């Protein structure tokens, strides 16, 4: 049917509904671009957030809005805080694809058994690479109130492995940066090179993204799950890599199927209720499935697959009361601003 015929049909349905009959529900059309008015309103709203540093909005691979409100420029690497966990999960997937790890079911004892405490809990033998990726190791958390004691310890790996089990491995999500650090330690052992070297070779080079050095523990293992630095434009490439099923510029960077595995719910946060996969959070926003990387203070990479939408937001990473509502405001900016701008679009898709 020609476009004119489709339009006529739609008008006819509307006219019939106006004659006392129930309105026909038409499927939502696919669109391209972003609605200029809605986008302008969203960016104005973004500018009013005092802790927000930058925003980049891209649709179907095209950057349609980018702005620096405060802080460094869009090409300057910034501390992405716990969004590092999403980057580390990508390295875990690449390691599996390269045969560095045998798979998500490989026990971490293959690499870290010599770091186990004396008389270890037998359940340590059951913890797998997949458990680390999904925050399901079962070990007590080293985040939150326990974070300071952990990073002040002489051996972060031993300290994390010595935490008492709160649940059996694979049975529930316990958010813990120590668990992510164990993945960095296992990757270092398995690959024979540092996590920094892996990140630069496996992600930085193919994406053409600068990945500067970041802190390491007292034994030289690069911090797994915190304090990595990437530029806002680098984060956009990272988000687009996942949106495009692990392919960048026609080259496969992540193993086939890794994005689907990463975006499969494996647990839920006891605090937000959001689902968690392999290093990525998941929720519904504006009527759409959203996958996102999240770093302390509001370092965000949002991917809305259905709309082909990727949004990066960076914020002031300095310590702040997390109840200040800033992160919630960023989620609302996506749900009430950028998603409606993409739904309306600048016109219908071909």
Q: How confident is the model at residue 3 (pLDDT cuts 50, 70, 90)?
A: very low
Does 34 have pLDDT greater than 90? yes
pLDDT at res. 21? 46
Give the burial class of 146: count Cβ atoms within 10 A of its Cβ; 0-12 exposed, 13-18 middle, 19 or more buried: middle
Does 15 have pLDDT greater than 50? no
Report the share of the chain in percent with pLDDT over 70.
Answer: 92
Per residue in 210-221, pLDDT (tens digit) is: 999 999 999 999
Does 45 have pLDDT greater than 60? yes
Does 91 have pLDDT greater than 90? yes
Q: How confident is the model at residue 322 (pLDDT cuts 50, 70, 90)?
A: low
pLDDT at res. 319? 81
Does 25 have pLDDT greater than 70? no
Does 10 have pLDDT greater than 70? no
Task: Report yes or no: 350 and 317 within 8 Å, Cβ to Cβ.
Answer: no
pLDDT at res. 143? 96
Per residue in 241-279, pLDDT (tens digit) is: 999 999 999 999 999 999 999 999 999 998 899 999 999
Does 188 have pLDDT greater than 70? yes
Report the share of the chain in percent with pLDDT over 90.
Answer: 88
Give the residue from 309, 350, 251, 232 showing the smallest Cα distance to 35: 309
Count of CB atoms within 10 A of residue 161's CB?
Answer: 23
Task: Report yes or no: 344 and 264 within 8 Å, Cβ to Cβ.
Answer: no
Q: How confident is the model at residue 318 (pLDDT cuts 50, 70, 90)?
A: confident
Q: How confident is the model at residue 16 (pLDDT cuts 50, 70, 90)?
A: very low
Task: Calculate mean pLDDT across residues 82-87.
Answer: 98
> Cα angle vertex 294, ends 277, 289, to 5°?
55
pLDDT at res. 9? 33
Three-state DSSP string of the chain: CCHHHHHHHHHHHHHHHCCCCCCCCCCCCCEECCCHHHHHHHHHHHHCCCCEEEEEEEECCEEEEEEECCCCCCCCCEECHHHHHHHHHHHHHHHHHCCCCCCCCCECHHHHHHHCCCCCCHHHHHCEHHHHHCCCCCECCCCHHHHHHHHCCCCHHHHHHCCCECCCCCCCCCCCHHHHHHHHHHHHHHHCCCHHHHHHHHHHHHHCCCCCCCCECCCCCECCCCCCEECHHHHHHHHHHHHCCCEECCEECCCCCHHHHHCCCCEECCCCCCEECCCCEEEEECCEEEEEEEECCCEEEEEEHHHCEEEEEEECCCCCCHHHCHHHHHHHHHHHHHHHHHHHCCEECC
Domains in the chain (CATH in brackets) are 30-76+231-350 (3.40.710.10), 82-228 (3.40.710.10)
Q: How confident is the model at residue 29 (pLDDT cuts 50, 70, 90)?
A: confident
Mean pLDDT (the chain, rounded) = 92
Contacts of 65 (CB under 8 A, 6+ apart): 34, 39, 43, 55, 56, 57
pLDDT at res. 23? 43
Task: Report yes or no: 240 and 293 within 8 Å, Cβ to Cβ.
Answer: no
Does 126 have pLDDT greater than 80? yes
Task: Calculate mean pLDDT across residues 102-119.
Answer: 97
pLDDT at res. 321? 72
Query: Lowest mean pLDDT: which of 87-91, 144-148, 338-342?
Result: 144-148
Q: How confident is the model at residue 290 (pLDDT cuts 50, 70, 90)?
A: very high
Give the integer Cα–Cα distance in Å for 239 and 60.
12
Model pTM? 0.91
CA distances from 291 to 34, 109, 267, 275, 277 (A): 20, 31, 14, 9, 10
pLDDT at res. 173? 96
Does 11 have pLDDT greater than 80? no
């Amino acid at each position: 049917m020609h476009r004119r015929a489709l339009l006529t049909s739609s008008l006819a349905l509307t006219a019939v509904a106006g004659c006392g009959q129930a309105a026909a529900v038409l499927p939502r059309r696919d669109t391209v671009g972003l609605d200029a008015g809605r986008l302008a309103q969203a960016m104005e709203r973004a500018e009013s957030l005092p802790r927000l540093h930058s925003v980049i909005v891209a649709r179907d691979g095209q950057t349609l809005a980018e702005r620096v409100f405060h802080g460094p420029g869009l090409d300057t690497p910034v501390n992405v805080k716990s969004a590092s966990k999403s980057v580390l999960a990508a390295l875990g997937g690449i390691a599996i694809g390269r045969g560095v790890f045998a798979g998500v079911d490989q026990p971490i004892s293959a690499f870290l058994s010599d770091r186990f405490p004396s008389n270890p809990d037998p359940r340590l033998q059951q913890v797998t690479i997949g458990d680390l990726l999904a925050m399901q190791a079962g070990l007590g958390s080293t985040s939150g109130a326990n974070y300071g004691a952990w990073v002040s310890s002489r051996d972060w790996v031993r300290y994390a492995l010595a935490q008492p089990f709160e649940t059996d491995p694979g049975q529930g999500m316990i958010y813990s940066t120590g668990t992510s650090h164990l993945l960095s330690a296992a990757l270092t052992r398995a690959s024979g090179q540092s996590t920094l070297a892996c990140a630069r070779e496996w992600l930085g080079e193919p994406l053409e993204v600068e990945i500067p050095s970041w802190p390491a523990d007292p034994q030289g293992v690069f911090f797994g799950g915190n304090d990595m630095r990437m530029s806002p434009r680098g984060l956009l490439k990272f988000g687009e890599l996942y949106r495009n099923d692990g392919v960048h510029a026609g080259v496969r960077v992540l193993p086939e199927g890794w994005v689907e595995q990463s975006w499969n719910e494996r647990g839920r946060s006891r605090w937000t209720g959001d689902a968690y996969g392999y290093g990525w959070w998941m929720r519904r926003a504006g009527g759409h499935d959203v996958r996102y990387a999240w770093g302390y203070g509001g370092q965000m990479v949002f991917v809305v697959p259905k709309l082909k939408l990727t949004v990066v937001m960076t914020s002031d990473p300095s310590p702040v009361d997390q109840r200040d509502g800033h992160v919630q405001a960023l989620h609302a900016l996506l749900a009430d601003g950028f998603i409606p701008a993409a739904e309306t679009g600048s016109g219908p898709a071909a």
